[in-house]
Each structure stands twice: as C-alpha cells, then as structure tokens.
Structure 1
Amino acid sequence: MKKSLMLSLMAGTLIACTGAWAQKVDKIRLGFMTTLSGPIATLGKEQEMGLDLALKQLGGRIGGIPVEVFKEDSRMQPDTAVQAATKLVELNKIDFLTGTMLSNQLLAIVKPVTDSGAIILSGIGGPSELAGARCNPNVFVLSWENNTPSEAAGKLMTDTGRKRGFFVAQNYVTGKEHVAGAKQYFKGQVVGEAYPDRTTMDFAAEISQIRAANPDSAYVFMPGAQGIAFVKQYAAAGLTKDIPLYSGSWLADEHSYAALGDLSLGTNLAANWFVGLDNPRNKEFVAAFRKEYGRNPVFYAAFVYDSIMLLDSAVRAVNGNIRNKDALRAAMRKADFRSTRGKFRFNTNQFPIQDFYVAKVVKEGNSYVHQVTATAFKDHVDSFASACKMK
C-alpha cells in the first residue's frame, strides 16, 4: 500500500515537472548589445533601428510572447563588452542576446553568456574561431564568417584583371580576417599591407606606402567614419583613377554617401546583402525601413532584423517553450523564416551558407544607391566549418 502510494506520488511529481517544462514562458528577456558610442556608434545605432523595426512589426512580441528588451552599450573594447554582458546576464537574466558588432568583443563574452544558458544571435561579429574549433551550440551568426565578404571582394579584384594588390585594414582581429579572406581569392601579387589603428584618421603614411608599392588595386576594410576619411584622402592624393578601391559595401553606403558624394561612384563592392536584392521579403523590409526612418537601410539593420525574425520563427515552432533548449536550437537551425537575403540556411557550425554579390554605386537624381551587377559566389561556405565538431 505504502509502495503504491509512493509510486503514485512520484508519478504525480514527474507529470507536474514535465507539465511545467512543457509550458511556454510568459515573457522573453532579450538582450541587445552593440557599440552605441564612439567612432562607430552610427553602425550600432543602425543595428538598433533594425531591432526596433522588427519588434514593432511583431507587435512587441517574439513567437507571440511579450518581449522585454534590455539594451547595453558595449563601447569599443573587449573589457567594456564583458561589463555590459555581465549586467545583461546577471542582472537582467536575458534569454537571448543580439547585436554584437565587434568580433573581439564577441570572443570575450561568448563563454559567460552561453554558460548562463542564453543564446547569442550575432548581428555582425563572425570571428573565424567561432566558425571553427570554438563553435558553440548556443551561438548563431546571422551575418557571415569574417573572411567571407572579403573573399568576394578579392575574387572581384581577380575577375576585373587586377595583378598587383595592396591591402589596408583596421588593426584588430576582424580587419586581419577580412584581409586574409581578400588575399585568399586574389590571384595576383600582394605588394603591400597596412594596418592602421582604429582611431587613426590621418592616412598620409598609408597612402604614401600605397603609392610607393605601385599597385593596380587597393583593398580596404574600414567601416564608419574612418572609411570616409580614408576615401577622401585617397582621392585627394590622386590615386582613385589608377588604383581603384575594392571593399565590402561598408565603404560606400547610406552612412557615407552624403560625406563622399561622387567619390562613392569609384568604389568596387561585394557583399551578401544590398538594398536592391530582388526578393519579396527584402522589398518589404526596405519599404518599411524607408517609411520608418526616411532613408534606405544598411546591412547592419538587415542582419539584426533577420535575427529577430529567425528567433520569432523558432519560438513559434516550440510553442513558446524556450526552456527546451535542444528543441529550440533545432528550430533555429532549420532557419524557417523569411530572410531579407531571400534563401538562407545554416551550415553545421551555425554560420550562414549564402550568396555574395558584386555592386557599384550609381547616382539616381540627387541620390546614390548600390546597383547589383553580378553574383560573386553561390551558396558560399566559410573555410573554417570543417573544424567545427557540431554535426
């Protein structure tokens, strides 16, 4: 009798626990961390615009569940990112984190954030370490592995007949990975490299190095205000015509058109997303962004927008039961959402398999816009995925 009673109580407890586990949460706690101050604050604020637009379209809910958003400025250094992430994890008890602009910051925070059980949906940062040996089941990268957009730029240099390339990038992990990607697909001679500090705004030394090396092309990784300063000084030195610039779309976009004017027209660009991509979701996104903010979006906004729509689809797939992490991650890996890039899928390392495009800047009336001219890669896979042990 006592044994039967004990078994009944144990069964009842198990059912109660299982029922609680299967219940959907009543609120999602979403962390958003990016660079909202300093020299690339404009880029972080663009990410925030993508976040806010996605949540507005979803009625302030993710997967039908009310969401509370906690925003933190990671500033520019790894230690400041750790401070912001610690607050989000320990005080705000976040379930998910998105934003994550700088790769060196992402590398610094990935362990404390994922050890807490939170899942990271990186909107930009895509360091090769996390694509390879340090891949993490709680990290999904919506942008790219850092080398890949510049692999497309390096291929563009080769495809346009360039034989002597000079490579310039910001002196930190992301800049060096972008240069490595560009050099991998550039089949000509590398005649020089320069890595100015991220605070440098006077490029006389780098421009002098380029001139002395006598290249027929120059690759540049400098997003934000630094890129604007470089392009202006490069043009003033008279190099643009004989040594054209190659880069990702960050070198000439809505953030820099006003400052660069017609200097934008001489850039040769490659990226996985442009305003003019011809798919229904992208057209809807661009129209909604224009209505909300009065201009075209930049990819920083598109990728965070995608991250929220991915999360919305996954939370719906598990009926709001985000505590079942295995089922949630499986739903996220399916990527069953409408991306601004059209087709979108994850590799086994949870980085995208995606197309990359070639574009130039054209002038339409008094405005500047990217015009896609070719496809650089179809279903491009980063070269680090094979080192990832996740299957």
Structure 2
Amino acid sequence: MGRSFRPKLIALLAATALLAGCSNRSADGPVNLTKGIPVGAVLALTGNANVYGQDQKIGIDLALAQLNGQAISLQIEDSGSDEPGANAAFNLQINRGVLALIGPTLSQQAFSADPIAQRRGVPVVAPSNTATGIPEIGHFISRVSAQSSVIAPLSIAKALQINPAIRRAAVFYAQDDAYSTAETVIFQKALTNKGLKPVTVQRTQLNDQDFQNQITSALSKKPDLIVLSLQAVDGGNMVRQLRELGYRGMIVVGNGMNTPNIYPICQKYCDGILIAQAYSPELKNPANQVFLAAFAKAQSRNPNASTIPPQLTAQAYTAMQVIGEALRRLDTQKPLKSLTVAAARKALMDEILGGTYQTPLGTISFTPIGEVVQKEFFVAQVRMNPGGRSGRFALLP
C-alpha cells in the first residue's frame, strides 16, 4: 500500500508535468496490477483545510484495513487547500493509472478538479463535497456526502423548536468559498420559509481572522439567532469573537464546522452551537459497529485522542468502502486483468452507481447522476468538557 505526500504545490506541478509528458499510464493499456488495484485519494493535508483532510485520511486508512484481501494499492496525494493543488494532484493520480479517486476535500476544489476526472473518464467518489451541483459535473462524479440542501434546513428547524421565540436572524458566510456561498443560500431560504427573513447578511473571506466590523454591524440589529456558513478555522474564530463581543443567543453552523477540530479554536465558546449531521456514532447498524471498533482501536494509541469518530472520518471511510465493494463485484464479473484502464474505469463507475451499500452512515445508494441516497440525518449540539479544550457533538431528539 503506497503513500505519497507532496505538501508543496511546486512539487505536485512538476511531477504532474513530468508524468503527463512521458504518458506514464495510457488509458488504452492494461490495468497494472503489479502492486495491487490502483486507487487514489486527493486530500487537503496542508493549508487551512488540513483539519478536514487529516480526519479523512484516518477514515480511508481504516476502511482499507477492513478491505483486507483485496490487494488495493492506495496512493494519497496532498492537494493543499486550493484549486491548483487539487488540479495537479488529480492529474498526477490519473496519469498513474488509478481506477478511481476519493476527494478532493473541499467543494471549491471539486468544481475545479472534478472536470479533469470527468474529461478523462475516471470515477470520483467525493467524501465531503456538499455544495449544490457537484454530481452534475458529469457521469463519473459521485458523492457520499449529502448535499447541504438536505442537511442545512434541519438545524434551523431544531433551533426554532428549542426556542420558538426567535424572531431576528443574522447570517454570515465566506464569499470566496463555493461551499459557503452555496450553503448560505440554503440557510437563508430555510429562514425565510420559517418567516425569518435575515435582518443582516455579513460577508467574510476564508483567510479572515478578525471579524469585529462584521460582528459589530450584525449585533446592532439585535439578532437572537446567528447562522454561519464558514469553514472550521474561520468559523471557530467567528464563534469565539461573537461570544467575546457579547452575543448570548443561539448559533447555528453549517457543515464546514462539522469537525472536533473546531474545539481548540473556539474552545469554551463552542458550547451550545447547533449543527445538522449526516452521521451519528450512535447508529446501531453492523457496519457502524465495525467502524466504531476500528476507530477506537486506532485512537487508543493516543491517550489524548477522542474515541468518538467525526462525520468526515465516517464519510471518508464510506467512500473507500464503496470503491472497494464495487471493485470486488466488478472483478468477479469482468476480471480487471482482462480490461484496459479506460474500460475498467467505465465499468467501475457503473458498478458504483448500481450498488447498495451497508455503511457507517446507514444504507446508501446513488441516483443515476451520482447523488447519494441516504435516509437518516441528525442534529447535534456541541457540549464542551470542563477546561474548554475538548467536547462532543451530542445528538438532540
């Protein structure tokens, strides 16, 4: 099982150019099974989204261990947290002859890199891209991450159930991020449908650290609900600054903050925020029990690590599981050694879309365009532990 990490974009670009120039693996040639079935992952392991990529790597590694006996040769590439890095990593993996890709981490990256895989006929299973329009990029693009339009309204409904007296909502989102700009539209529509047209909409940037101007402007409108569509780092800082500047009302956050990596950022101020989720560690299905046991065993090596897996780890595990099970079915029907790379990729995509999978997320399948079909969703509230450095997502009834 290979590992390749290139944290610097220049190295990725150079390697991609070299491989493209020498046609390392022609799609018309046979599948190279010398080291196992080639599968690639492209994750944000560096940059401001590395908190997501690190969670995802854990999930992929755990799923790969469960797929023992399948001889999958996994190559992981670090895309960084931007679009050029994702594009370079996709090209690098495709030129290696991988039959499928997991990733990229961010929706912003997916809108840039997925068309590369689509043009070259390479199946993509996205573990964390929730923005509207991802599967519509093309036939070879799918995702196991439920789209924001399904998830986000649930947390708004729960906030109003907890406090029916809410009347004034303020909205914040990062205007330079595809996930944030897509999710905020969904949040704002959900608010309007509940008779809560936002009293203010504040725009930020992904790399912002000081939000005093936006917060001061928003608090002047006296909101009793604040809704954030931000990534983990800027979102965690926003929550902390909101509380420090005196806001005491309810806070709803989007999927970008669906990671325990927010705890060290907003610390004690994370307590009480609401978030809708596509995964619950409390699910009793057999696949989740296997996943939970594997995660707990892996985390036991670090006495300070949580044994409760986050959603991003569960979704990445599911993405690897889907590809592994689809490969197993395909190899039984049409031995991979008898196929060209292009034919194997096309047949694998058909297998992915045609399957039903028992996963930690519950039973899932795909629509013909690659959208995940999932039945169970949840809303959680963050409960911070004494000391304010760790906590958990506590499911709400």
If the length of structure 2 is used for normalisation, what is the TM-score?
0.79
State the partner residue of 2:295.
Answer: 289
Residue of structure 2 in register with 1:369 after alignment: 392
Give the 3 Å change call, closer, same or farther, for CA 154–277 of structure 1 in structure 2. same
Rg larger in 1 or in 2? 1
Report whether the alignment pairs 1:138 with 2:161.
no
Contact 1:275/1:282 (8 A) holds in 2: yes
Secondary structure of 2:368's partner?
coil
Residue of structure 2 in register with 1:107 after alignment: 111
1:24 and 1:319 in contact (8 A); partners too: no
How far 1:174 sits from its partner (Å)? Answer: 0.9
Label 1:256 to 1:324 Cα distance change in 2 as closer, same or farther (>3 A): closer
* Number of the residue aligned with 1:317: 329
User: Contact 2:259–2:311 at 8 Å: present in 1 too?
Assistant: no
Relative to structure 1, the CA distance from residue 252 to residue 262 in structure 2 (aligned partners, 3 Å threshold; closer, same or farther) is farther
For 1:191, the equivalent position in structure 2 comes to 199
Q: Is the 8 A contact 2:285 2:362 kept in 1?
A: yes
- Corresponding position of 1:167: 171
1:342 pairs with 2:362: yes
Tell me if 1:301 matches 2:322: no
> Given the superposition, is the C-alpha separation of residues 191 and 56 from structure 1 closer, same or farther in structure 2, using an over 3 Å criterion?
same
Q: Deviations over 1:312-371 (max 9, x none)?
A: 211122225453555533432243322111122222321122232112233678862222
The question of 1:30 aligning with 2:10 is answered no
> 58, 75, 94: which is aligned to 1:49?
58
Bigger shift: residues 180-189 or 323-332 = 323-332
Q: Could you tell me how far 1:178 is from its partner in structure 2?
A: 0.8
Cα distance in 2 for residues equivalent to 1:224 and 1:283: 27
Relative distance call for 1:75 and 1:344 in structure 2 (3 A) is: same
Q: Within 2, Cα distance between the matches of 1:189 and 1:256? A: 28
Determine which of 93, 97, 111 is the counterpart of 1:93: 97
CA distance in 2, matches of 1:40, 1:23: 33
Partners of 1:198 and 1:262 lie apart in 2 by 23
Deviation, 1:249, is: 5.8
Check conservation: 2:258, 2:310, Cα contact below 8 A. Answer: no
Flag the 1:67–1:306 CA change in 2: closer, same or farther, 3 A.
same
SS in 1 for 2:105: coil
Cα distance change of structure 1 residues 114 and 250 upon mapping to structure 2, 3 Å threshold: closer
Equivalent residue of 1:318, what SS? helix
- Give the structure 2 partner of residue 332 of structure 1: 352
Measure, in 1, the Cα distance between the counterparts of 2:172 and 2:130: 19
TM-score normalized by structure 1? 0.80
Kept in 2, the 8 Å contact 1:309–1:338? The answer is no
Give the letter for the 1:199 counterpart: N
What residue number does 1:207 align with?
A: 215
Q: Which amino acid counterpart does residue 340 of structure 1 have in structure 2?
A: P
Answer 1 or 2: which has greater strand percent. Answer: 1
Select 1:155's aligned residue among 134, 152, 157. 157
The aligned residue for residue 385 of structure 1 is none
Match of 1:216 in 2: 224
- Bigger mean CA offset, 192-201 vs 355-364: 355-364
Q: 2:381 aligns with which of 360, 376, 380?
A: 360
Letter in 2 for 1:300: L
Listed as ranges, the gaps of 5+ residues in structure 2 are: 1-28, 301-305, 337-342
Aligned CA RMSD, in angstroms, stands at: 2.7
Residue 277 of structure 2 corresponds to 271
Looking at structure 2, the residues matched to 298 and 156 of structure 1 have their Cα atoms a distance apart, in angstroms, of 21
In structure 1, the partner of 2:121 is 117
Structure 1's 68 and 223: CA in aligned 2 closer, same or farther, altered over 3 A? same
Question: Corresponding residue for 1:248?
Answer: 254
Q: Is the 8 A contact 2:32 2:97 kept in 1?
A: no
